[in-house]
Amino acid sequence: MSTLTAPEAPTRTYNAYSAPLWQRLLMTRETAVIALTAAVILYSIVNVPNFDGPLTLKFLLQDIAPILLIALPMTLVIITGEIDLSVASIMGLSSVLLGVLHEGGMSVPAAALLALLAGLVCGALNGFLIAYVGLPSLAVTIGTLALFRGIAVGLLGTKAITDFTEKWSDLATGTIGETKIPLVMIPFAVLAIGFVVLLHFSTFGRGVYDIGLNDEAAHFTGVDVARTKMVLFLLSGVVSALAGIYFTLRFGSARGDNATGYELQVIAAVLLGGVSIFGGRGRLHGVLAGVVLIGVLSSALRLESVTVNVTNIIVGLLLVASVILPNVLAWASTRLPRKATPAAPRESHTPENAASAGVSTRGSDS
């Protein structure tokens, strides 16, 4: 037996079974989203009046900055098969804390640091309940969504704090030198690089995917599942708090109801960017394109004076289509007569030891 199987083993390589490299790199959901985003941008530049104006880029990036920021940790959280619905409430809480502490005489950076710390604590609470107590993240974060928002509104009541040091609120609305790129893109770029390295180029990142595909298997291959989830919720909390600080300084207004509903925008962008809600699949460049796509669509439609309902309908349809379509196609392709694939050997009557060798022949036949 060993003499028979040994020479056959090399034929069972990944390349023999997979699509060509260019297909694997280009025929992905991420590419589709990026292509669509590029198409929408080009279309808008040509056809939407004032879209090519000098203010568009600045306003667009300022609008999507909080969503870009939170989408980074959210992607990792969703790839592990979990979800964090409390991000917008953490934004609200950090916004209120920044306001209250600043009003109490603290400088903006000191207050912002404490607000970030509060975000970390919020994330730790989520992470502890999900990773170590083992509760479902959907239930936990729905609870903390209400809890953090409640604390935020409770702390500040019905008023708004608007008296921030000019220097800092200018920083939030300022641009890099003479360009039209808002300053907030600098911390975002740093974080984005950090998250790309973490997810796509580290063992931690491999663990994130493993957990999403099968957390028990991940556990047995040596991934510390609980610690990984804890780290992700901590990151989510801290980055949400950062987004909350940006949001507060940009509008110069700390309110309990700041950023209400942002969690859904973030999750919509992440799913549109090709991340599977069931976990285990997704890439950051797709997600970032998803955020930009939604931002460009809303910006262009606003310039066309399309009402927000229509914008929401379009984004909603896009999202539903992007989630449903792969499933429909997978179903349809099982109904269609297909080329011989590695599934064939199961029906094949050839002797077992020839089956694997037969695959490559069949593949080249058809």
Instruction: Please give the residues from 137 up to 156 whose contact with other proteins meets the rule CB under 8 A.
Output: 153
The window from 13-21, 75-83, 104-112, 114-122 that contacts other proteins (CB under 8 A) reads: 13-21
Asked if 86 touches other proteins (CB under 8 A), the answer is: no
The window from 79-87, 117-125, 128-136, 257-265 that contacts other proteins (CB under 8 A) reads: 257-265
CB of 146 to other proteins, least distance (A): 15
Residue among 60 and 129 whose Cβ is closer to other proteins: 60
Asked if 255 touches other proteins (CB under 8 A), the answer is: yes
Burial pattern 35-55, b for ≥16 Cβ within 10 A else e, equals ebbeebbeebeeebeebeeee
Cα(275)–Cα(292) distance, integer angstroms: 15
**Site pattern 327..346 for other proteins (x: CB under 8 A):** --xx-xxx---x--xxx---
Residue among 3 and 158 whose Cβ is closer to other proteins: 158
Listed in sequence order, the residues at least 6 apart from 337 whose beta carbon sits closer than 8 Å to its beta carbon are none
Cα(232)–Cα(219) distance, integer angstroms: 17
Cβ burial of 309 (10 Å; 0-12, 13-18, 19+) is exposed
Residue among 203 and 333 whose Cβ is closer to other proteins: 333
Q: Among residues 5, 8, 13, 19, which is the contact residue for other proteins, using CB under 8 A?
A: 19
Are the C-beta atoms of residues 96 and 156 closer than 8 Å to each other?
Answer: yes
User: What SS3 class is residue 175?
Assistant: strand
Asked if 159 touches other proteins (CB under 8 A), the answer is: yes
User: What are the DSSP E strand ranges found in the chain?
Assistant: none
CB of 174 to other proteins, least distance (A): 11
Listed in sequence order, the residues at least 6 apart from 287 whose beta carbon sits closer than 8 Å to its beta carbon are 71, 72, 75, 269, 270, 273, 274, 275
Residue among 234 and 249 whose Cβ is closer to other proteins: 249
The window from 81-89, 116-124, 130-138, 319-327 that contacts other proteins (CB under 8 A) reads: 319-327
Residue among 125 and 300 whose Cβ is closer to other proteins: 300
Residue among 125 and 249 whose Cβ is closer to other proteins: 249
Listed in sequence order, the residues at least 6 apart from 224 whose beta carbon sits closer than 8 Å to its beta carbon are 207
